[in-house]
């Protein structure tokens, strides 16, 4: 049982001009090789990884607090522009380990889609600067950069939420976000 | 016992150019007359209220979800510029009714101070656009507009946190934020 850190003091952080949260206590960099098999076009994935290239897909800059329900984690995500075949760069996507935990996103830079899934249902929320997007309890969520600039957003979620990446790694996600004839297409997919 | 709303669907909201969250389900307008006795200079308060004037001090635009620990409430606050005597316009300030609930603020426009208090301790976090400010569990918190433009920020807090305004109304807040010789002064006060 994790309890709140009663010695916590108030603090201020800054989101810098490229979207980095400073200071951060955890920084994650996800490269394409760490998302093996998540994009539909395996040939395009192999091509993108050929010759030792391994594109940086996204960065998460987080300030950690106690993993307690009443605490709140805050992070920024910088999702770089790019595609694998015709599929836009995206995050791995996750459920919260504690399923009934919500999350709030706030768009800071660039353009994207928040795609969500639950029990066969699928939803998408377009995001841009000034948009607040709500991930309700129980919904898997993934973000996608549909533009040509970095897509940057702030996220806040309960301290005890945790991340379950494994379910999406094995079961896939029911939407793909593609570029078709110069347009952004959110497509229902088999997995 | 309030449980999460399992019929919740994802949604997107927009913070408009003046800082209003749209759509909102609750909008609060606090005028000076609703904060009677909170500013130190009672004569200046009476003068500000004379002749039927009743300045709008701040607005809160909130999107309500279920009052459940795993849900997250989101709102924007537009704190207008102004002073009562030499004391800057501020919010009423509150503890969370459920004391061990944190809150995250994100500065959008203007300049301010987040002042906090707990068990005789007092802290202040300066806020401006791009600043993430953390209200730890158990700390009373109030925001103050120290600039000449509206001070606007986004706030996220757990669905079950609730607001206790009464404790500050009766016991006061241990800091006052004043203009002295053109400078912003955060002063420890008797109440």
Residues 6+ apart with CB under 8 A from A163: A94, A95, A96, A97
Q: How many CB atoms lie under 10 A from the CB of residue B123?
A: 18
Contact B171, B120 (CB under 8 A): no
Sheet strands (E) in chain B: 11-15, 21-22, 26-31, 56-63, 72-79, 83-84, 87-88, 103-109, 112-118, 121-127, 131-135, 140-145, 151-158, 175-180, 183-188
Q: What is the pLDDT of residues A8-23, one digit of tens each?
A: 899 999 999 999 999 9
Q: B104 — contact with chain A (CB < 8 Å)? A: yes
CB–CB contact B116 A14 (8 Å): no
Backbone angles phi, psi at A52, to 5 degrees: 80, 0
Q: Name the one residue in this structure whose structure tokens are 């897909």.
A: A57
CB–CB contact A12 B131 (8 Å): yes
The shortest C-alpha distance from A97 to chain B (Å) reads 12
Q: Is the pLDDT of residue A189 over 90?
A: no
What tokens were used for B110?
């203007």
CA distance B81 to B111: 10
CB–CB contact B10 A135 (8 Å): yes
Torsion of CA B154, B155, B156, B160, to 10 degrees: -150
Q: A100 — contact with chain B (CB < 8 Å)? A: yes
Which residues, numbered 70 to 89 in chain B, qualify as contacts with chain A under a Cβ-Cβ cut-off of 8 Å? 70-72, 74
Q: A50 — contact with chain B (CB < 8 Å)? A: no
**Chain A residues with CB inside 8 Å of B11's CB?**
125, 133-134
Q: A120 — contact with chain B (CB < 8 Å)? A: no
Contact B1, B31 (CB under 8 A): no
Q: A102 — contact with chain B (CB < 8 Å)? A: yes
Torsion of CA A123, B16, B56, B35, to 10 degrees: 40
3-state DSSP: chain B helix, strand, coil percent, rounded to 5? Answer: 10, 45, 40
CA distance A114 to B89: 37
A62, exposed or middle or buried, with CB in 10 Å at 0-12, 13-18, 19+? middle
Average pLDDT score over residue span A87-112: 97
Three-state DSSP at A168 gives: helix
CB-nearest to B12 from A63, A125, A158 is A125
CB–CB contact B13 A157 (8 Å): no
Q: Which of B184, B173, B135, B96 is nearest to A11 (CA)?
A: B135
Q: What is the pLDDT of residues A38-86, one digit of tens each?
A: 999 999 999 999 988 899 999 999 999 999 989 999 999 999 999 999 9
Per-residue model confidence (pLDDT) at position A5: 66
| Average pLDDT across chain A, whole number | 94
Q: B158 — contact with chain A (CB < 8 Å)? A: yes
Backbone angles phi, psi at A72, to 5 degrees: -130, 130
CB–CB contact A4 B138 (8 Å): yes
CB-nearest to B70 from A6, A21, A100 is A100
CA B14 to chain centre: 20
CB–CB contact A12 B101 (8 Å): no
Q: What is the DSSP letter of B166?
A: H
pLDDT band at A144 (very low <50, low <70, confident <90, very high): very high
**Chain A residues with CB inside 8 Å of B102's CB?**
4, 65, 70-72, 159
A–B: how many Cβ contacts below 8 A? Answer: 161
CB-nearest to A136 from B8, B98, B130 is B8
* Distances in whole angstroms, Cα of residue B107 to Cα of each of A8, A72, A74, B55, B176: 21, 17, 14, 23, 20
CA distance A7 to A9: 6
What tokens were used for B60?
């809160």
A11-15 and B72-79: which strand pairing? unpaired
Which is more confidently placed, B101 or A5? B101
Q: Is the pLDDT of residue A6 over 70?
A: no
Q: Is the pLDDT of residue A2 over 90?
A: no
CB–CB contact A133 B11 (8 Å): yes
CA quadruple A19, A20, A22, A23: dihedral sign: positive
pLDDT-flagged residues of chain B (< 50)? none
Which site among B4, B137, B152, B154 would you substitute to test the A interface, given the most A Cβ atoms closer than 10 Å to its Cβ? Answer: B137
CA quadruple A182, A89, A130, B75: dihedral sign: positive
Q: How many CB atoms lie under 10 A from the CB of residue B110?
A: 22
Residues 6+ apart with CB under 8 A from A84: A32, A39, A41, A44, A45, A48
Q: B11 — contact with chain A (CB < 8 Å)? A: yes
Q: What is the pLDDT of residues A149-181, one digit of tens each?
A: 999 999 999 999 999 999 999 999 999 999 999
Buried b (16+ CB within 10 A) or exposed e, A100-130: bbbbbbbbbbbbbbbbbbbeeebbbbebbeb
């Amino acid at each position: 049982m994790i309890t709140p850190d009663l010695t916590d003091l108030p603090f201020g952080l800054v989101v810098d001009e490229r979207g980095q949260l400073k200071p951060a206590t955890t920084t994650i960099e996800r490269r394409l090789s760490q998302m093996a098999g998540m994009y539909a076009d395996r040939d395009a994935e192999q091509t993108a990884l050929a010759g030792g290239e391994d594109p940086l897909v996204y960065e998460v800059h987080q300030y950690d607090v106690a993993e307690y329900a009443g605490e709140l984690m805050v992070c920024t995500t910088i999702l770089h522009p790019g595609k694998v075949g015709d599929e836009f760069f995206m995050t791995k996507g996750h459920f919260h380990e504690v399923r009934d935990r919500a999350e709030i996103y706030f768009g800071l830079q660039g353009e994207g889609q928040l795609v969500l899934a639950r029990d066969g249902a699928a939803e998408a929320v377009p995001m841009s600067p000034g948009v607040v997007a709500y991930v309700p309890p129980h919904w898997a969520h993934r973000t996608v950069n549909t533009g040509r600039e970095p897509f940057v957003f702030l996220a806040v979620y309960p301290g005890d939420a945790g991340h379950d990446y494994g379910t999406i790694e094995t079961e896939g996600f029911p939407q793909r976000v593609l570029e078709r004839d110069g347009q952004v297409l959110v497509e229902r997919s088999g997995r």
